[in-house]
Amino acid sequence: MAKAKTKGARQGAARAKREPAPRASQSGKRREQILAAALEEFSARGFSTARLDDVARRAGVAKGTIYLYFRDKETLFQELVRAELSPVVAALEAAPLADLPMRVVAERLVELFVREIIATHRKNVIRLILTEGPRFPAVAEFYYREVVAHVIAVLRGLAQRAVERGELPNDSLVRFPQLLAAPGIVAIIWSGLFDRWAKLDAEAFMRAYLDLIFGKGRAV
């Protein structure tokens, strides 16, 4: 109503300024632009502190456009998690690890984790879940169902088989498969908190863990 007053002129000007006529329209391009921008902003400022105005600006889009693709801020976060992590979970479940010796399995897992998480922006997604999850049960539940539960199941299966083959001295890893993932989690947290004062080499850290629980100076 009263809104239209100033609009016409300003908008026209803004429009004229835009370099190549936009209008690429089709394709989920927009959606991906927005997701990428959201990841950047959420990583840098945290979910609740990040401003959708900034996400929009970074995506090269107006704020309203975000709401054409996502119901609200929290849904945007959730879709971000799904888009980033589901493929990795699928890759893990598809990996043919079942019949390898446990130590080799563990090394493969470290490689996978470093390559797909630590070395990518996905570590920021994980960090976001760890830091924001407690306040967003919907996100935490989604993450638990779609990621954690699957990972735990895979790890438990591997540990179980290793115990049966006599490659592990006890059933600790069967009862608590989380133990296998703990250093990975800690590496991500550490880097978010303390890298400034004391860098932690995540890969060396995880390999040292393998040396600790499997060989190198120790008979199984």
Task: Report in angstroms how near the CB of residue 5 gets to DNA at its nearest.
Answer: 6
Q: Is 151 in the site for a second copy (CB under 8 A)?
A: no
**Of residues 30, 122, 127, 161, which one binds a second copy by CB under 8 A?**
127
Phi first, then psi: what are they for 96, rounded to 5°? Answer: -85, 85
Closest CA to 73 of 104, 52, 46: 52
The interface region with a second copy, picked from 76-84, 96-104, 106-114, 194-202 by CB under 8 A, is 194-202
- Kindly report the number of other CB atoms within 10 A of residue 161's CB atom: 18
Cα separation, 210 vs 154, in Å, equals 18
- CA angle, residues 42, 28, 13, in degrees to nearest 5: 80
Task: Report in angstroms how near the CB of residue 29 gets to a second copy at its nearest.
Answer: 30
List, in order, residues 6 or more apart from 162 with CB less than 8 Å away: 101, 102, 105, 168, 173
Task: Report in angstroms how near the CB of residue 20 gets to a second copy at its nearest.
Answer: 27
- Kindly report the number of other CB atoms within 10 A of residue 3's CB atom: 6
Q: Is 49 in the site for a second copy (CB under 8 A)?
A: yes
Q: Is 3 in the site for DNA (CB under 7 A)?
A: yes
Restricted to residues 47-76, the positions that interact with DNA (CB under 7 A) are: 49-53, 60-65, 67-68, 72-74
At residue 127, what is the residue type? R
- Residues, the chain: 220
Cα separation, 166 vs 29, in Å, equals 51
Cβ proximity to DNA: between 41 and 84 the closer is 41
Dihedral sign of CA atoms 79, 185, 98, 154 in order: negative
**Of residues 148, 150, 160, 203, which one binds a second copy by CB under 8 A?**
148
Q: Is 130 in the site for a second copy (CB under 8 A)?
A: yes
Q: Is 219 in the site for DNA (CB under 7 A)?
A: no
Q: Which residues form the interface with a second copy (CB under 8 A)?
A: 45-46, 48-49, 127, 129-135, 137, 140-141, 143-145, 148-149, 169-170, 172-173, 175-176, 178-179, 181-183, 185-186, 189-190, 192-194, 196-198, 200, 204-205, 208-209, 211-213, 215-220
